[in-house]
Structure 1
Amino acid sequence: MRLEGRGLGWRYGRESWLFREYDISISAGEVVGLIGPSGSGKTTLGRILAGYIRPLAGTVTLDGDPLPQTGYHPVQMVFQHPEQAVNPRWTVSRILQESGPLDEALNEALGISPAWLDRRPHELSGGELQRICIARALAPGTRFLIADEITAMLDAILQAQVWQGILHEAEKRRIGILAISHDRRLLERICTRIIEWPQRGSS
């Protein structure tokens, strides 16, 4: 299975292009790093690949077909700020079950405590809530994960634990990953290859 973007372009209104004529391809089981300056469009690219927004130019395909418009989306994205991605009134258990049954083994691998399940998002730290969002994104139907600075708020030990859990799950299920980060050392540890993001407006 392959996630591909061809000739992708995006800009806001009449501003200059953030990027254009951009090609990217991620295969099943591959961990691709994306590194580049802030504000250059990396998160926007991730949103396009995950189907959150449509590109102004180019196409995104999954094994040659357009991204699905209904049902569980096989390309999931986890953002840097987890508090913006959950319903604040829901319990952790309900958030996790939004994408399928609880996976106790995955929760344990990501360091999710059973004691958190009855809590609500405001009762967790940012790092704890981020692990909930990662577990939710790694539902059974997920084939590709877009990870946008997902462990930036964690200390080195927790960062290593979370990525170990993600990579183990990805290897077991041949999930492809695009890891967006400013941390080159992290990407060098976890990725099979690293892409240098182009300067604003270049291809």
Structure 2
Amino acid sequence: MSAITSPAPATAAAPASNRLALTGVGFAVLFIASLVFSGLAGSTTYPSPFEADKVAEAYFADNGGVVLGMGILQLLSAVPLAAFVLALTKGAARAGLVRAAGLCAAAGLAACALIGLAIPVLDASGDTLHTLHYLTFMAGGPAHVPFLGIVVGASALAFRTSAPRWTTVLGLTSAGLALLSLATFVSESLMLLLPLGRFTAILWILVTAVRAARLRK
């Protein structure tokens, strides 16, 4: 599973599998940790940019340190995500689309984290707060999830002959949900597609990382 096409020779398979395992698990753990930290340490749930302005203002005023911690964890998670994609496509033919989509997904996540970090650092309020809050959603949602879905869907198809059938179905389902989440640009009522696409993609990445770790043995 070291490439999008056929498996690499045995001498190269172990290091590649090691990178897939470490980076895949690293991304999932850091990203999920950011959400768990926010949920446990925050005074309330992280607000949607579509809620009333006073809700967001109250949250960010009371949870500056939480927002900083969540942003740092998400920024860190973008690094193993990029490394996972590079390991996934290393030495593969016709892997340009997957590699480009993966790097765009990592860039979107990093942008989301950096913009989010700017809110407590700048002590933003009013229109500035609303703009930054909305940009974090756009960067980490519609600008990140569809690209992540492309990585997962294309890779699931490439591995369909060597991976369990259910992982292929999971990957393609995740890709479909992630691409459909682009509809959130049109209607906020479809926002549920974003977490569905995101977390099924993370699950596929975890499964792939675990399978890569088993290949080392």
TM over 0.5: no
Higher relative contact order (CA 8 A, sep 6+): 1
Relative to its length, the structure with more strand (as a share) is: 1
TM, length-normalised to structure 2? 0.28
Q: Which structure has the greater CA radius of gyration? A: 2
Relative to its length, the structure with more helix (as a share) is: 2
TM, length-normalised to structure 1? 0.29
